[in-house]
Amino acid sequence: MVDIMAHELSNGTSGISMALDSFAADGQMGQPILPSAPYKLGRATCIISLWLANEEPFSGMHIFFMAKIDSLWAFDHPPKEKRTLSLLRNPIRKSHIFGEWFNADTEAIISQALQTGGGPNVSDAYTINGLPGPLYNCSAKDTFKLKVKPGKTYLLRMINAALNDELFFSIANHSLRVVDADAIYVKPFETDTILITPGQTTNVLLKTKPNFPGATFLMTARPYATGQGTFDNSTVAGILEYQAPLRHSAVSMKKLPLYKPILPAINDTKFATSFSKKLRSLATPQFPANVPQKVDKQFFFTVGLGTHPCDQNQTCQGPNGTKFAAAVSNISFVQPTTALLQAHYTGQSSGVYSPDFPVSPIHWFNYTGNPPNNTMVAIGTKLMVLPFNTRVELVLQDTSILGAESHPLHLHGFNFFVVGRGFGNYDPNKDPKNFNLVDPIERNTVGVPAGGWVAIRFLADNPGVWFMHCHLEVHTSWGLKMAWLVLDGKLPNQKLLPPPADLPKC
């Protein structure tokens, strides 16, 4: 069990979101109270307890708030020996958390963007473990160094907490072996570069050179971006430094040659697609891929940008004098003042949400072709209701409205299997024939390809209210989110438990 203490960060109310499923103390799938727990920021400290039952070794937790700049923790909870891959039993573990640095007050940036309707100012730097590195002005002394020994194997546990950008990462003159994604083991594969979207975790094995190489090596990360909006296109760097033989002095170490990796181009969708296709579940008796072979309900959602009309007597900085917006199936989510889970549990949902989120878009068009003239989106607080144990298939389709863009979609409360992906418009008659139902990757965050689609399947066996949202935080703030309401099952351990007596009020 883990206790989380949330101290003051700023004024206002925020919430804690776990990149974990919720498990009850008996190891069964538990209740959705903890993974999205509200707490009041200020002088008080909120302590949250949770069970880490059958999760694989590495997970992340973050503050669920647009100002969550670098507010993320890593949980390293090694599984029992029998649930560990043989190649992972003796590595040296090191954590890499990618983040963003803002010189300005992040809340002021957000407030201004929402008021003007324009895009928010981008970050001033990316960071590795909180340090920007030598490629930024006056930051050479603030460089993360990974000190290694020759002939060793290191497990690099990476989280992308730069929640406005997908990132490429590479180490000069070294290959990486991917073994885990979103706390689920994958079929290992070698790569020089990884792609990690906001909120995702990836574990890679790094085998150091057998002898002291007489050099140091940069580790760099920079964004993968496909949209038309502004973004931080800078590069963060750390240093991979080998432990030198005794004959090398500190002065001679500084004179060693420094090698730089070659990262893909910022808009290299070909590499992003190739990397994503390599991720496969182990699908072994010990680590099965329990992908639903049949489905009870099929859904088709669009994801993308749009606009809101500018308020009267106001000048807005969005397209053609509008405000930027984002939506799922053209519905921009409006955050209610009453917690959705609370409204559902108490039976007082009237005026809080409506349980009628559409199964598919109300208006169909050529999603990846020329965008329609009307880019306005509807607003609402709508939920999709699922009976307990529903086997779900969901296709997420990107749109070209205000430009095609990759969207990292994150689902709370569940893992899902990525059974298919492609470019252009999804074809329900042809594309399912190519679905992978044998060893699809299992995860909780997936990138919807720019100008394409992704198909996922999951079992709705966790009762409660669960958000699904874009992990590009600016898109979430504009409304690219919705929620699933999973009803109680028949058995006692399939029902939503009452909130604890000391649960803070929203």
Nearest to 272 by CA among 400, 79, 405: 405
Does residue 4 contact residue 50 with C-beta atoms inside 8 Å?
A: yes
pTM of the model: 0.86
| Cα(488)–Cα(17) distance, integer angstroms | 22
Side-chain half-sphere CA neighbours of 498 within 13 A:
4
Residue 373, both tokens: 């003239």
Kindly write down the DSSP assignment for every residue of 342-362, as one continuous string.
HHHHHT--TTT-BS---SS-S
- Residue 88 pLDDT: 63
DSSP 66: T
Q: Write down the residue that tokens 């497990």 correspond to.
A: 155
Strands 390-398 and 383-386: unpaired
> For 18-32, 118-132, 140-154, 489-503, which range has the lowest pLDDT when averaged over its residues?
18-32
Q: Is the dihedral of CA 362, 363, 365, 370 positive or negative?
A: negative
Nearest to 116 by CA among 409, 315, 342: 315
Read off the pLDDT of each residue in 365-377 and give the average, rounded to a whole number: 93
Per-residue pLDDT of 105-157, as tens digits, reads 888 888 888 889 998 889 999 999 999 999 999 999 999 999 999 999 999 99
Strand partners, 397: 302, 453
Residue 407, both tokens: 């969207």
Q: Calculate ∠ Cα 232-10-97, nearest 5°.
A: 45
From the CB of residue 342, how many other CB atoms can be counted at a distance below 10 Å?
Answer: 18
Q: Write down the residue that tokens 């992340």 correspond to.
A: 60
* Helices and strands, number each (H, E), in the chain: 5, 31
Integer-rounded Cα radius of gyration of the chain? 23
| Farthest CA pair distance, the chain | 75
Per-residue pLDDT of 187-245, as tens digits, reads 999 999 999 999 999 999 999 999 999 899 999 999 999 887 778 899 999 999 998 87
Nearest to 187 by CA among 90, 102, 289: 289
Strand partners, 152: none
